[in-house]
């Protein structure tokens, strides 16, 4: 049996186990171990299991992951997210749909130091959803805007997804972060426009809030200052060469901790933040270890090279290859966690993208936008389930109905990035 056929069998078995709800990290490691042992020998496969986790966990390049998570958790535990929403509400709250615009703006700014979509969705939902419900917002709009706004955490740097993509494909982490700025801000603007269109076409889904004076608007800006300050400091420092992305993660976490302490975070909250960071980091690192073992198997099976040769024999154009890859991402994104999906698919499809001649940094942005869609589309939609845990009284059907306009907005943004690559790589 050819190595490629063994590769197909192991990947098919892995996808079956994932469909049966086996842990993705364990499934990748198991498929990699069995496949490598089948092709090479089981003694070397055991050696990989013995040395792989240590090599992965001692890799300095992965150290920004817990730091970026810690930044977001500090911001959430210290109550900064509530001040952020109230500041944005002072700016937009008097408009029809203004609280939804405030929620989107808050999600975009919060994600600038969170790096995690689910953390953004969870933090902002606890603050904004009760306020929107109290002010007569339809459940569809209230939950849809928060689920969609949470996805900005995966794009606006610092982003764990962009970091992992850069490490998998051996691209510059700093370049990936810079490339994510315009697409992330474009997503924020397009979500705001989507809210504006919805409240214009369906005025009953949102009510105008209490008008605020110019002084109240200016005072409200103080809730936005810490987030924008940390974001500008991190991105400016990376762009100017003051520090590396790894150093930026530690500097950002330290700066967020100082802001949180000044704003009243106590030791119990600090302890909870560290514990939550450890749990989330352990989950991600477990998936990275599984992906590392799976990567050894992909190398010896040569399935990626066989896939490139097969696609080349079909004489497909570059954009048709891209279209097929993005459809794969969308389908898998509906049933898998975004980080797991990137770790699983990028090593397989990246050679196809290289062979098609696409810029790897541009493709990383396109891939992450596509992954965003999976966070809010059925049957899984992780952000939707996060908000469901915050608001169990709202039906999951209403939540999916609420996110659909934002799915359309993301598809339009994806089309713009594909049509105008400079939107992604213009700053790099």
- Between CA 157 and CA 138 the distance in angstroms is 31
Q: What is the pLDDT of residues 136-161, one digit of tens each?
A: 888 899 889 988 888 887 888 778 88
- Between CA 176 and CA 226 the distance in angstroms is 23
Q: Which residues make Cβ contacts (< 8 Å) with residue 81, sequence separation at least 6?
A: 75, 106, 110, 123, 124, 126, 127
The count of residues in the chain is: 428
Whole-prediction pTM:
0.82
Q: Which two tokens stand for residue 15?
A: 């996808």
| pLDDT exceeds 80 at position 378 | no
- Between CA 327 and CA 113 the distance in angstroms is 30
* 76 against 175, higher pLDDT: 175
Helical packing angle, 64-77 and 98-114, nearest 10°: 140
* 307 against 39, higher pLDDT: 39
| pLDDT exceeds 90 at position 409 | yes
Q: What is the mean pLDDT of residues 198-214?
A: 81
Is the separation of the CB atoms in 338 and 371 below 8 Å? yes
What confidence tier does 186 reach under pLDDT thresholds 50, 70, 90?
Answer: very high
Lowest mean pLDDT among 104-118, 240-254, 350-364: 104-118
- Between CA 338 and CA 373 the distance in angstroms is 10
Q: Which two tokens stand for residue 38?
A: 């089948």
Handedness of CA 256, 258, 259, 264 (dihedral sign): positive
Helical packing angle, 303-314 and 267-301, nearest 10°: 70
The tally of domains found in the chain comes to: 1
pLDDT of residue 380: 67
Is the separation of the CB atoms in 424 and 177 below 8 Å? no
* 38 against 264, higher pLDDT: 38
| pLDDT exceeds 90 at position 365 | yes
pLDDT of residue 115: 66
Range of the domain at 102: 3-426
Q: Which residues make Cβ contacts (< 8 Å) with residue 236, sequence separation at least 6?
A: 242
Q: What is the pLDDT of residues 90-126, one digit of tens each?
A: 777 677 888 888 888 888 888 777 767 777 787 788 8
What confidence tier does 335 reach under pLDDT thresholds 50, 70, 90?
Answer: low
Q: What is the pLDDT of residues 249-295, one digit of tens each?
A: 888 888 888 888 887 788 888 888 888 888 888 888 888 888 888 88
Q: Give the range with max mean pLDDT: 14-28, 75-89, 114-128, 298-312.
A: 14-28
Integer angstrom CA distances of residue 180 from 64, 83, 271: 17, 26, 32
Residue 374, Cβ neighbours under 10 Å: how many? 24
Q: Which two tokens stand for residue 419?
A: 């049509």
pLDDT of residue 20: 81
Mean pLDDT of the chain: 83
pLDDT of residue 396: 84
């Amino acid at each position: 049996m050819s190595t490629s056929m063994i590769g197909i069998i192991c990947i098919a078995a892995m996808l079956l186990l994932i469909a049966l709800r086996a842990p993705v990290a364990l499934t990748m490691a198991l498929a990699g171990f069995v496949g490598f042992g089948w092709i090479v020998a089981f003694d070397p496969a055991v050696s990989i299991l013995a040395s792989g986790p240590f090599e992965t966990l001692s890799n300095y390049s992965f150290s920004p992951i817990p730091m970026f998570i810690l930044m977001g958790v500090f911001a959430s535990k210290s109550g900064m997210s509530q001040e952020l929403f109230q500041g944005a509400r002072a700016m937009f709250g008097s408009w029809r749909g203004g609280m939804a615009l405030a929620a989107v703006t808050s999600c975009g700014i919060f994600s600038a130091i969170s790096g995690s979509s689910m953390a953004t969705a969870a933090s902002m939902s606890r603050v904004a959803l009760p306020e929107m419900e109290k002010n007569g917002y339809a459940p569809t709009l209230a939950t849809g805007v928060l689920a969609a706004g949470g996805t900005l955490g995966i794009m606006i740097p610092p982003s764990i997804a962009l970091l992992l993509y850069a490490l998998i494909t051996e691209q510059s982490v700093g370049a990936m972060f810079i490339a994510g700025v315009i697409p992330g801000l474009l997503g924020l603007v397009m979500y705001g426009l989507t809210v504006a269109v919805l409240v214009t076409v369906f005025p009953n889904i949102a009510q105008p809030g209490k008008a605020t004076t110019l002084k109240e608007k200016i005072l409200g800006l103080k809730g936005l200052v810490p987030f924008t300050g940390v974001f500008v400091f991190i991105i400016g420092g990376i762009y100017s060469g003051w520090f590396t992305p790894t150093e930026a993660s530690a500097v950002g976490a330290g700066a967020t901790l100082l802001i949180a302490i000044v704003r009243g975070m106590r030791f119990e909250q600090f302890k909870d933040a560290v514990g939550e960071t450890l749990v989330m980091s352990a989950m991600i690192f477990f998936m990275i270890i599984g992906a590392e073992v799976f990567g050894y198997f992909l190398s010896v099976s040569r399935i990626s090279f066989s896939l490139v040769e097969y696609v080349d024999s079909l004489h497909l154009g570059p954009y048709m290859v891209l279209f097929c890859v993005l459809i794969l991402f969308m389908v898998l994104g509906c049933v898998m966690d975004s980080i797991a999906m990137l770790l699983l698919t990028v090593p397989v499809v990246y050679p196809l993208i290289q062979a098609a001649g696409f810029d790897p940094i541009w493709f990383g942005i396109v891939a992450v936008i596509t992954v965003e869609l999976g966070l809010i589309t059925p049957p899984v939609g992780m952000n939707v389930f996060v908000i469901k845990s915050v608001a169990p009284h709202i039906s999951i059907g209403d939540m999916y109905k609420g996110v659909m306009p934002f799915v359309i907005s993301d598809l339009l943004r994806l089309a713009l990035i594909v049509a105008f690559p400079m939107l992604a790589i213009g700053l790099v």
